[in-house]
Amino acid sequence: MTHDAGPIWLKLAAVAAIAALPLVFGGNALLLHLAIMVGIYYTVCIGLSLIFGIGGQLSLAQAAFYGIGAYTSALLATKLNVPVFLGFVAAALVSGIVAWILAAPILRLRTVYLAMATLAFGEILVTLIRENRQLTGGSTGIVNLPRPAIGSFVFETPSQYYYLVWIVALAAAWIAGNIIRSRFGLGLRALADAEIGAASCGVDVARYKTWMFTLGAIFAGVAGALFVHYLSFISPDSFSVSFSILIVMILAVGGRDSLVGALFGAIAVTVLPILLAGYEKYSELVFGVLFLATVMFLPRGLAGAGEALLARMKGGRRVTHEGRDA
């Protein structure tokens, strides 16, 4: 598995490109909007990378935690006038705590049963949101959510919001990258490779599972809060199971065992439907065929394909199992 994003200059170049984007394309409203959405989806997907890509557990609850974070922050801001940034912190806390409590019973389940239970949790949550009309505004939701601010500086324009989203996304990537390379991460990887073996070597399987599930949920929760304060509108539609499936698709297209892959996946899945929309009623068919072709012919996703291509260009050096040559 390859968890290393590559040489340090490549990472710096990527960060520089992300930082420069609004300066170069600031006038293009569509591009900035897409870049913001990619950043938000990327953050959710990094969370799923930890849960599934590394830990091997297919959770369909990312939409639920995205929703928990979003509603926590939106309700605090509109009902109690809590500053939005504090709301973001609360979003992280609440989604983390819920995930931590949920982890104990749910993570005992395996494969399909885990997928079903996490999916069920999300659906129950959406019903609760829709039916608590007094608090959440029901299906109609809540409008006019405020933008976050530091002192008198408000993250108002798309460019400003873009930086906020990408600081969070890169921080999430950095945290996840460090976890993956840490002793803790080695434990996680052992877990994915052989649960029983890991357990017999003294790795506390349940504890690792719980922590990565919690951390993944925190990333989703913060992303959800960022999302609704960007739209300045919240309704339960955005947090249904189809969003969880979308995140799984991003991971699959990008490559499930690489953080860079998640980024490629987020870009592809966000941008492609917009490019294809002109095909009118054929657009979903084209998207479906492209998705199918990707999972069939590039089973390690765009990241895996890119890596293999890069290795070939370097002169046939094979990428080793650990993802490090030289």
**How far is the C-alpha of 207 from the C-alpha of 324, rounded, in Å?**
29
Binding residues for other proteins, total number by CB under 8 A: 79
Binding mask 31-70 for other proteins (x = CB under 8 A): --xx--x--------------------x------------
Among 309, 317, 322, 325, binds other proteins (CB under 8 A): 309
**Within 13 Å and on the Cβ side, how many CA atoms surround 233?**
6
Cross-strand pairs, 233: 143
For residue 303, the minimal CB distance to other proteins (Å) is 11
Give the DSSP letter of residue 184: H
Residue (90 or 253) nearer to other proteins, CB: 253
Q: Which residues pair with 153 in a beta bridge?
A: 150
Helix or strand holding residue 14 (H, E): helix 8-25
Q: Is 320 in the site for other proteins (CB under 8 A)?
A: no
Within residues 104-123, the interface with other proteins by CB under 8 A covers: 105-106, 108-113, 115-117, 120-121, 123
Output the smallest distance, CB 258 to other proteins, in A. Answer: 13
Q: Is 229 in the site for other proteins (CB under 8 A)?
A: no
Residues paired with residue 238 on neighbouring β-strands, in sequence order: none
Select 93 or 276, whichever has its Cβ closest to other proteins: 276
CB of 289 to other proteins, least distance (A): 6
Regarding 24 and contact with other proteins (CB under 8 A), the answer is no
Nearest approach, Cβ of residue 178 and other proteins (Å): 25
- Please list every residue from 272 through 301 that binds other proteins, using CB under 8 A: 272-300
CB of 187 to other proteins, least distance (A): 21
Give the nearest distance from C-beta 322 to other proteins in angstroms: 14
What distances in angstroms separate CA 109 from CA 29, 102, 115, 245, one per listed residue? 45, 12, 9, 19
- Is 182 a binding residue for other proteins by CB under 8 A? The answer is no
Number of C-beta neighbours around residue 222 at 10 A: 29
Per CB under 8 A, 221 contacts other proteins: no
Tokens of 23: 């300066």
**Where in 134-153 is the site for other proteins (CB under 8 A)?**
138-140, 143
Rounded-to-10 torsion of CA 234, 61, 244, 112: -160
Residues whose CB falls within 8 Å of the CB of residue 68, separated by 6 or more in sequence, listed in order:
91, 94, 95, 98, 125, 217, 221, 224
